[in-house]
Amino acid sequence: MRVSGSDLVKFQSLLNSVLASLVMALTSFAVNAGVGEGQELYNAYCQICHGELGEGQTMGKPLTDGMANRLSDEDLLAVITDGRAGTGMVAWAGSFSDEEIFDVASYVRALQGKPGLNLATDDSGMANNPMALAGAELFNGSAGCSNCHSYDDQGGNVGPVLDGVSSRLGEDALLQVLLNPSASIASGYGAKVVEQADGTTIRGRYRNDSELAVQIQSEDGRRWVTYFKDRVKSVTDSDESLMPDVFATLGAEQQEQLLAFLNSL
C-alpha cells in the first residue's frame, strides 16, 4: 500500500494535535495537583501566621494585598525559600523540598485569584505600560519622590508607603493629594516646628510628643532626634504637609506619567 505525501502530512498534523492536547491535559493535572499539595502544606504551616485565606494575622502579613500580588514569581519563591531578614518570615528551604516550595507558591497565587506560577514571563506591575515606566523614572529620579516614599520595600520613610495607594485613594483623590498635599495629611505623618534657643527652627515628622519632649525625624529619615521642651523656645503644630509641591512644577505629560506609575502600584 502506497501512502502519498499529503497523507503523511495530514497524519503528522493529527499526531501533533493529539500530542499537544495530551501535554496540555497533563500540565493542567500537574498544576492542579501542585496547588492541592500546596494547600495542604499551607494549611499545616502557613495559615497560623498568614490566615486561612491569606488575609494576614498579627504574626504575618497579608498574602493577597497589592504588595504580595506584585511580587514576581521568582521573588515569591525566593521569599518562601530564604525567608525575609528582620521579619518573622522564616526560610523554608531546609524543611520543604523545591517541589513543595513551588506547590506552596502556586497555592498562594491561587489565593490571589491567579492561575498559578508562570516563570517564563512576568506580566505583573507596569511592564507593558510605557507611561507608568516613565513615571517610575521620574519618581525615582528627578522628581525625588523616592527620597521620602517607598514601594516594594524600597525608598524613604518620611512619607507614607505607597504600595496599593491607587486602591486606597482612587485616581481622583490621588490627584488631589498631589495637587494640594496639605489639604489632607495622612495619619502619623503630621509635622511640628521646633524653635531652638538660638532662633533656628526644625520642621519635621514627629512622634512621641509628651509634656517633656518631642521626637522629630531627621530630613534624611534615618534617625529620630529628641528635643526637650524646657530647652527650646517653642514646639508648635504645622498645618503644612512635609510633601513639597513637586507635582505642580511638572509639565502635563510628566504629571500623566507620574499618575500612571502611582496608579500601577
What Rg do the C-alpha atoms of the chain give, in angstroms? 26
C-alpha–C-alpha distance, residues 169 and 172, integer Å: 8
| CATH 1.10.760.10 intervals, the chain | 5-111, 130-184+245-263
Exposure class string for 132-148: b at 16+ Cβ within 10 A, else e: bbbbbebbbeebebbeb
Look over the chain and give the mean of its residue pLDDT values, rounded to a whole number: 82
Is the domain spanning 5-111 CATH 3.30.365.10? The answer is no
The stretch 184-203 carries a mean pLDDT of 92
The pLDDT of residue 155: 87
pLDDT tens track for 64-100: 888 888 888 888 888 899 888 778 898 998 888 888 8
DSSP line for 8-39: HHHHHHHHHHHHHHHHHHHHHHHHHHHHHHHH
Q: Distance (Å, rounded) from C-alpha 142 to C-alpha 257?
A: 13
CATH 2.30.30.100 intervals, the chain: 191-238
Cβ-contact 41, 104 below 8 angstroms: yes
- Distance between CA atoms of 137 and 141, rounded to whole angstroms? 6
Is 50 exceeded by the pLDDT of residue 11? no
CATH architecture for segment(s) 191-238? Roll (2.30)
pTM of the entire predicted model: 0.52
Q: What confidence tier does 22 reach under pLDDT thresholds 50, 70, 90?
A: very low
- At residue 50, the 3 state secondary structure works out as helix
Q: The CATH number of 130-184+245-263 is which of 1.10.760.10, 2.60.40.10, 3.40.50.150, 1.20.1250.20? A: 1.10.760.10
Q: Take residue 135 and report the three cell numbers written for it.
A: 513615571
pLDDT in tens, 217-248: 987 788 899 999 999 999 999 999 999 989 99
Q: 235 by DSSP, 3-state: which?
A: strand
